[in-house]
Amino acid sequence: MPKIRLHQFLSKTGRFPSKRSVKDAVWRGEVSVAGSIVKDIAFQFNPNTKHVEWNGQRLVLPANHRTFLVNKPYGVICSRLNKQERRLGKQSVFAMIENEVEAADFDRFVSVGRLDEATTGLLILTTDGGMVHSLASPEAKVAKRYEVTTARRLDDEAVQRLRAGVEIELETNGHIETYITAPAEAMIESDGRLSIVINEGKKRQIRRMVSAVGGEVVALHRRAIGRLDLRDHRLNQGDVLDISGRDVLALVGVDVEDKRP
């Protein structure tokens, strides 16, 4: 969805009896966009990526949203392609659903979080900005399970360190800072792979965590988000599944509100 003016968005929610009441709510500072109070009725934003609250209540547009589960293959990018990526022949995950949706809806889709190009596994694509916020915001602390193939099997000491939290380096605008990860669920499976569950989403976090305990990731696969597990849906790499947003939220473990489609 393209950007919309704040007063237009509020009017479309059906929560206000008149245009005047919409303007008064904004001017009184009762409306926030992406967590910040906005008093400009003409403020423009994308409701698929920024949530709106009125006196602490979440507002959404009445719409029929579409949601897909994707088993992302290796080498696919989780964003729209820029000119350089097109020249290099890169593939976007959004191309996997292009033939499944109307052309008018295609540009409305966003991903719930991202997987880097070399990581495979579960990804959610949706037109529902509310779902994106519910699942991807740091406050949600949604658990994500990964299967990690390492160059050599991690020993028990390394696994214990992952469970306790390890120090990793993060880069923000060229600035390097250290970060202590939250305790994780971690165990070595019978085939030697590491199974790990985290409820954070720092950039390249799993790879950095494994490196911090002396390991090297050679393959990374996201198997589950909350209770939403790829294996339960029999999705092979490259497969997509049309699914209701309500089912996704219920499977992940987020409370389903009546306003959800």
Cα distances from 239 to residues 51, 60, 120, 247, 251, in angstroms, run: 30, 30, 12, 18, 19
Residues 148 and 131 in one domain: no
pLDDT tens by residue, the chain, 261 residues: 468 889 988 887 767 877 888 999 999 999 999 999 999 999 999 888 899 999 998 887 766 788 999 999 999 999 989 999 999 999 999 999 999 988 777 887 889 988 999 999 999 999 887 788 788 877 888 999 999 999 999 999 999 999 999 999 998 888 899 999 999 999 999 999 999 999 998 999 999 999 999 999 999 999 999 999 999 999 999 999 999 888 999 999 876 543 343
pLDDT of residue 260: 42
CA dihedral 179, 185, 188, 191 (to 10 degrees): -110
Q: Is residue 201 part of a domain?
A: yes
pLDDT of residue 96: 95
Instruction: Please state the domain count of the chain.
Output: 3
DSSP string, 52-72: EEETTEEE-------EEEEEE
Could you count the other beta carbons within 10 Å of the beta carbon of residue 243? 17
Residues 147 and 209 in one domain: yes
Could you count the other beta carbons within 10 Å of the beta carbon of residue 148? 22
For position 247, which CATH number holds?
Answer: 3.30.70.580
pLDDT of residue 91: 96
Residues 130 and 149 in one domain: no
For position 51, which CATH number holds?
Answer: 3.10.290.10
| CA-based max dimension of the chain | 66
Q: Is residue 98 part of a domain?
A: yes
Q: Is residue 164 part of a domain?
A: yes
Range of the domain at 208: 143-225
Residues 148 and 216 in one domain: yes
pLDDT of residue 2: 62
Q: Is residue 258 part of a domain?
A: no
pLDDT of residue 158: 97
